[in-house]
Amino acid sequence: MEILGFSDLTWISGIAFILCLGFGIYMVKTGKPGFVRSFNDNSSYRDKEQYAKKGGRLLLCLAAVCLVMGAVAFVSPTASNIIGILALAVFAYFWKKMSDEFGPV
């Protein structure tokens, strides 16, 4: 029994790619973490611009992994799921590290 089939994985990875790409480009270009944090966020950051730039780069890397995930889904849906889970674990680690370094005080 397949949990996620080929068509499900291509849609999911495609939507994730578009969202990560859009949010990542916004954060890198504007230097504002508006999409990740609330627009009404009045927290003081250690370095708000670096937080947004590094966070945006992480989202762009996750977008690239979503493309790889979609391509691998043509060969093996199971491998695509494993890549997605591993990518999210690595992303969470680096996001936490970045947030501790530059994030809200």
Q: Are 63 and 21 in contact (CB under 8 A)?
A: yes
Residues contacting residue 46 through CB under 8 Å, at least 6 positions apart: 101, 102, 103, 105
- Residues 63-73 have pLDDT tens digits of 999 999 888 88
Is 1 a domain residue?
A: no
Residue pair 13/66 in contact (Cβ under 8 Å)? The answer is: yes
> 79 — phi, psi (to 5°)?
-65, -35
Task: Decide if 42 is inside a domain.
Answer: yes
Q: Look up the domain containing 47 and give its range.
A: 6-102
Give the containing element (helix H, strand E) for 48: helix 48-73
Per-residue pLDDT of the chain (105 residues; tens, 9 = 90+): 456 566 777 777 888 889 989 989 998 999 887 766 666 666 777 888 898 899 999 999 999 999 998 888 888 888 988 998 999 999 999 999 998 998 877
Q: What is the pLDDT of residue 85?
A: 93
Please give the pLDDT value at position 36.
67
Residue 62: the pLDDT is: 94
**Tally of structural domains, the chain:** 1
In a domain, 77, yes or no: yes
Q: What is the pLDDT of residue 35?
A: 67
pLDDT given for residue 39 in this prediction: 61
Q: Let me know if residue 47 belongs to a domain.
A: yes
